[in-house]
Amino acid sequence: MQASRSTINDIFNQNKVLEIPFFQRSYVWNDDQWERFLEDMEMVSETNKPYFLGSVILKQQPTQSNQSVGDRRTVIDGQQRLTTLSIFFKVLSLKLQNAYFNNIFRLPLANNQIALQHNHNDIEAFNRVQNLEEEVELKETDHISRAYEYFRIHLDTNSINPQNILTNIMFVGIDLSHDDDEQQIFDTINSLGVKLTTAELLKNYFFGRNDYDAYLEYWQNVFEANDDCKEYWDTEIVAGRIRRHFIDLFFYSFLQIKIQDSQYNVSTEDKKLFTKVDGLFDSYKRFMQEYAIDKTTFIKEIKEYALLFKDNFDLSVLDSELPASSGMERMNAIVFGLENTTLIPYLLFVLKNVTDKNEQSSIFSFLEAYIMRRMVCHANTKNYNSLFSENLILNRILSRDSLKQYLENRATDNNYLPSDNDLKEGFLNSRLVNKQSTGILYFLESKARNRNLHSTGLLGLKSYTLEHVMPKKWENNWPAVNSPEEKNRRYRVLMTLGNLTILPSSLNSSIRDGAWDVKKNGTPTKPGLIQYAAGLETFSQYLQNDEWNESTIVERSVFLADLAIDFWSIQ
């Protein structure tokens, strides 16, 4: 076994066949990974600095006398990254009409054969992409084709410097001989659990043998005081496909706050590097070393912010009724229930610097209005990281009025504040994923609910499911439509918020797809909407309707929009 620092050119060296085991799992990366990958490529293009992309384990295959290429390696680890690299460079080659970068991933000495040989699930799609001679749209829905389409649409050649990428993307290349046990090595690298966490690395960096008292005061009492404390910091959340612990969320957020502090004058280039989730420990080290951070002062601030974090960020809010009043409970539901963890640095900054609880509440209320309006309008969240980890902190936005003014001034960029008209259009037309729709309706319900009139409380956000009132499978039990135009309109409106409601329990499948009367009243053995939705302020009035159709959906969309304009006021 040999391990070395390897570039793309070292791995794809024009004389090496890389074979993914034929019955290996399929390529599974999705939009979240492609977006992050593209951002990494743009950053390396701009900064021209080395960037670590993980390990690649290759196992040498015995040479056969009839092989056109003698160097053949099995890909033990790195399938997803190598596949993505190949697709990325293929799209780049097509856009630039430059065969050089395309040829890196082919073997000129073996009839221009594709260097990466894929598994049985993906070989057809992968080869189809690699053999394209011009940029075309692909309609296929497999992950390989979708990756190609993602880069075809989002890759901006003006933001990419291919030579910087080829020079600076680094791997730990591990080469195994044909008699090495690849399973044992793979398991050792990935599964022994000996990898130190960011927090453990930072603890060892901040405290030496002679710092025991400081360790007790500023670390153990904060992060390791007792089992409950440890359990809190070990709390794991899932955002997209990424799993993160509270302690990692805290240290990331704290660093984002500190690098915006004017006293340190951190360069724009370094700020961009320090915003990467990967390599957080190295970012801390570099920040402290290059910007002469006093360690004693720094660890005292860590304690102050960490205690604030622990007192305010709470995952259990998803299990209980959400109050109508603005505050951290509603912010927690947005952050953890609707996967908006990019808000955390700014929320922590506000908690530390705004001591007036009324002003805090006003800021949180406006933040909720901003986030929820944009969610209804299906606005892009790509720039949230720069907004909440950089701009609002750098500009010390610490009041509702300054937040309102700052966001109103973003009217022409991606962080725009949707108007009341935008919001109404969103309720009428937006087609959202289930989690967003559930969250929007739940947040409206928690505001609209008159708790004095209900004997039972609203459940937690996690307890509700989403129901299409007019079902997606409407053809069998709902009135027919007479023209393609009417049919298209029905398909459009049934996916909008006006046709959706939250329910504390899923309907039986026979009720879910039944006619309106059956769906509303249920059967003697299977309850319908009257039982599950009668207490919902956002839907119960419609249970008196004799029919549910496109006009009713539009009517309810307007009703919900009016509630949202009132509850999420930006005046």
What per-residue confidence (pLDDT) applies to 194? 41
**Domain range for residue 116?**
2-191
Select from 144, 171, 191 the last residue of a domain.
Answer: 191
Could you tell me if 37 and 163 lie in one domain? yes
Could you tell me if 187 and 202 lie in one domain? no
Count Cβ neighbours within 10 Å for each residue of 355-388 and write b for 16 or more, e otherwise: eeeeebbbbbbbbbbbbbbbbbbebebebbbbbb
Could you tell me if 217 and 76 lie in one domain? no
What per-residue confidence (pLDDT) applies to 100? 74
Q: Which amino acid is at 44?
A: V
Residues 6+ apart with CB under 8 A from 149: 137, 138
Give the integer Cα–Cα distance in Å for 436 and 214.
Answer: 45
Helical (H) or strand (E) element with 92: helix 79-96
Strands of 78-155 (E only): list them: 106-107, 113-114, 116-117
For residue 168, give the nearest of 39, 9, 3, 286 by alpha carbon: 9
Distance of CA 108 to the CA centre of its chain: 39
Give the integer Cα–Cα distance in Å for 1 and 76.
Answer: 13
Please tell me the total count of domains within the chain: 3
Could you tell me if 266 and 340 lie in one domain? yes
- Splitting the chain (571 residues) into consecutive groups of 10 residues, what average pLDDT does each group show? 84 85 80 93 94 87 62 86 95 89 79 87 93 93 95 95 94 80 54 58 79 90 94 87 87 96 93 87 90 91 98 96 95 95 97 97 98 96 91 97 94 88 96 94 94 76 94 90 89 94 88 91 91 91 94 97 97 89
Q: Residue 426: inside a domain, yes or no?
A: no
What per-residue confidence (pLDDT) applies to 191? 44
Please state the three-class secondary structure of 4-22 as a single string. EEEEHHHHCCCCCEEECCC
Could you tell me if 153 and 271 lie in one domain? no
Q: Are 257 and 391 in contact (CB under 8 A)?
A: no
Select from 372, 401, 420 the last residue of a domain.
Answer: 420
> Is 468 in a helix, a strand, or coil?
strand
What per-residue confidence (pLDDT) applies to 166? 93
Q: Residue 425: inside a domain, yes or no?
A: no
Q: Which amino acid is at 29?
A: W
Strands of 202-253 (E only): list them: 236-239, 242-245
Residues 6+ apart with CB under 8 A from 249: 237, 313, 341, 344
Q: Residue 273: inside a domain, yes or no?
A: yes
Could you tell me if 93 and 233 lie in one domain? no
Helical (H) or strand (E) element with 308: helix 295-312
